[in-house]
Structure 1
Amino acid sequence: MSVKFVPRPSQERGHADHDWLKTFHTFSFAMYQDLEHMHYGPLRVINEDRVAPHTGFGTHGHREFEIFSYIVSGELEHGDSMGNREVLKRGDLQMTSAGTGIRHSEKAHGQKEVHFLQIWSLPSQSGLKPQYFTRHFPDAEKTDKWAKIVAPVGSDGVVEKREAVGPAPVHSGLSLFASLISPSTTLKHTLVQRKAYFHVIQTSGYNPGKPSGAQVKLSAGGEELVLREGDGVYIMGEAGATLEVKNEGEKVAEVILFDLE
């Protein structure tokens, strides 16, 4: 099956260093605006954020977005206008369906920096009632296999409860998978939709220059691409096409994969 890769190199992402916040933007966000990278299907934001201890995003509002946070390291303190208050740790995923409007804050908790991915998608319908969900996926569930951590409402295994086992529900045509791939290990994924987006998380440390750290090779339909930490790739193909992801480096690669309508 025909598949096309369009690389999104780490060093070409939007980037800002505010001292308390070091961030990369895959898509246009805040002061970074690029008409070639506005969204991809329903996927609107992938920000790779590092927030310094005792700092964070003060209370602010959102509406008509599905907003989720994937915790890589450290602890993230969340509070919102729905009354939710908690500290999220590695392996935790929180999903806020902002709907008609919410206000929330996100801050580093404790003495360490928090590194997390802030992801937004466009909802498939407007005017939804705001909701909040949390899920936990320990490393063992992601080691050398795909863990489905977000999936559309109504999908198999999706439970619309604040806390539950299985993927967090999202009101978008989007499924999100995560994995920790050991060196020399290959994983496969069969596309359910025609589009996908793949990203290698920058786990070895903040690096606004040339990517280093983990190295993976992505293959599909005769296409091949080598990626390092912070790199991503737009994938255009056909439902049923098979992607292969091989860790060619010497350290574990933490990766995420969006299957998009």
Structure 2
Amino acid sequence: MSSTPSTPTLNLTLRPSQARGGSDHGWLKTFHTFAFADYQEEKFENWGALRVLNEDRVEPLTGFGTHGHREFEIFSYVVNGELEHKDSMGNTEVLKRGDIQMTSAGVGIRHSEKAHVHFLQIWTVPSIGRLPPKYYTRHFSDEEKKDTLLRVVAPIRAAGVSPEREAAGPAPVQSAVTLYASLLSPSVSVNHKFGPPGQGNRRRGYLHVIQTSGYNTGKSTGATVQINGGEVILSEGDGLYIIAAEGDQVDIKNVGDKTAELLLFDLD
């Protein structure tokens, strides 16, 4: 990774798409931003409360068989296709584009995921352990995400967050993470200003450009965005580590000719 200073307090580090882990299993084509399965890199274990960020493509009539989890909060961001979820809490649901499903595994759950789908599998570490398992779903339309940073996941005690299984607003988590989603049109800009730090004296962020143009293991292509006037350029599959002080701002501009689908994590 190469580090690019933006201001005396803002630091940006590019994670190129082709530097991610992952593999083609036939039924599953996957990328791993952080250490996962056979991809084990100590320096990429996590980023704050963010532990897993996998971009998965699952072939029809296949999927992840029944398996167990503890403690992690696991959510799925559906890009295209359908994802069938079943779990030991009795939840059965078919998720489609715009849906976010969040399982707070707590003391333990078992679930399966099957279907033909392109989705992001995200795990975060809760601030409190040994909690009872919980399940939530939320839906956000493309129009809601167009040319803005829409808050789709937030801490359960944050303003505007409902503890109900299905509700308007962001999905609730017990983790110190807020997730924003955007569908950014060509030539349009959005920005995010970081608030006060949590336990440390800095905040972390992570920006991911979803690989919507198709599976590509080489150099990133497709939709392209620039950060803070061109200090860093990202295309599909690329990520950006952010270290910020209170009040630091990240400006994101679509400088390509395709809509860019983005996820921005704001972390303690």
Structure 1 and Structure 2 fold alike (TM over 0.5): yes
* CA displacement at 1:201 relative to structure 2: 0.2
The aligned counterpart of 2:71 is: 64
Looking at structure 1, the residues matched to 214 and 76 of structure 2 have their Cα atoms a distance apart, in angstroms, of 19
1:46 is matched with which residue: 32, 50, 53?
Answer: 53
Aligned mates of 1:96, 1:160 — CA distance in 2:
13
One-letter amino acid of the counterpart of residue 65, structure 2: G
How many Å separate the matches in 1 of 2:267 and 2:143? 26
SS at match of 1:30: coil
C-alpha separation between the residues in 2 aligned to 1:174 and 1:93? 15
Percent same amino acid among aligned pairs?
A: 61
Aligned match for 2:261, one of 246, 254, 258: 254
Count of equivalent residues: 255
Equivalent residue, structure 2, for 1:182: 185
1:200 equivalent in structure 2:
209
Question: Gapped runs of 5+ residues in structure 2?
Answer: 1-6, 198-202
The one-letter amino acid paired with 2:204 is K
Would you say 1:158 and 2:161 are equivalent positions?
A: yes
Question: What SS is found at the alignment partner of 1:36?
Answer: helix
Aligned to 2:123: 120
Tell me the amino acid that sits aligned with residue 228 of structure 1. S
1:130 matched to which residue of 2? 133
Structure 1 spans left out of the alignment, 5+ residues: none
Q: TM-score, normalised by structure 2?
A: 0.94
Specify the alignment match of 1:82 in structure 2: 89
Please give the alpha-carbon distance, in whole angstroms, between the structure 2 residues aligned to 1:30 and 1:84.
26
**TM-score scaled by length of structure 1:** 0.96
Residue identity opposite 2:205 in structure 1: A
Secondary structure in structure 1 of the residue aligned to 2:213: coil
Residue matched to 2:80: 73
Q: 1:217-236 to 2 correspondence within 5 Å? A: 217-219=226-228, 224-236=231-243
What is the CA-CA distance between 1:44 and the residue it aligns to?
0.1
RMSD value over aligned CA atoms? Answer: 1.0
Name the counterpart of 1:214: 223
Structure 1 stretches of 4+ with a deviation exceeding 3 A read none
